[in-house]
Amino acid sequence: MSALGEAAFADLYRLHSRALWSYVYRVTGNAADADDIVQEAYLRMLSTDLPPLAGDEPKRYLFRIAGNLMADRWRRSSREHGGLDGVADRAAPPVSPPDHDVTRTFTELKPRERALLWLAYVEGEDHEGIAQALRVARGSVKVLLSRARARLRDRLAARGVVSRT
């Protein structure tokens, strides 16, 4: 086991596993993939000799590992299927009732857009945390997040859920 003791690992898992799984599930749209990625993220964290992490660092580290694992799957899928189209268009099954327009519209966004919005507005991550989790430049987060919000807003407006103001 890494420098992280058994009790510390149990606390880490208890505190962050649900949020991590929800994030991965919303981005990938697949419960089995979410299970695999979350398990692999914790396994990698355990097998890495890390210095002591304080505050939100363990959570950020887990989300970054999960983001890397999702990116690896998308790249592998891209090579195997000749593009990201199948992955990007795959919609996550709604957790809310099937006719819930916002949930359905959210699942239609590209995986990176879902990840950006989820990390910013559900997990409350700042731009630095989002940049680390998604392996993008910190300066890009603001632009990418703005585009993801605009795309979600435009899709919701097209369905009549929100106005185009």
Q: What are phi and psi of 40, to 5 degrees?
A: -65, -35
**CATH number of the domain where residue 16 is located:** 1.20.140.160
Q: Is 142 helix (H, G, I), strand (E, B) or coil?
A: helix
Q: What gap in Å lies between CA 143 and CA 146, rounded to an integer?
A: 5
Q: Is residue 1 part of a domain?
A: no
Q: Is residue 25 part of a domain?
A: yes
Q: Is residue 164 part of a domain?
A: no
Q: Is residue 137 part of a domain?
A: yes
Q: Is residue 163 part of a domain?
A: no
Q: What pLDDT sits at residue 91?
A: 46
Q: How many CB atoms lie within 10 A of CB 143?
A: 11
Q: Are 50 and 61 in contact (CB under 8 A)?
A: yes
Q: How many CB atoms lie within 10 A of CB 30?
A: 17
Total tally of structural domains belonging to the chain: 1
Q: Is residue 126 part of a domain?
A: yes
pLDDT in tens, the chain (165 residues): 455 678 888 888 999 999 999 989 988 888 999 999 999 999 998 888 777 777 778 888 888 889 888 877 877 766 665 544 444 444 444 444 444 567 778 888 888 888 899 888 888 889 988 888 888 899 999 999 999 999 988 888 887 777 665
Q: What gap in Å lies between CA 134 and CA 23, rounded to an integer?
A: 12
Domain assignment of residue 15, given as a range: 6-158
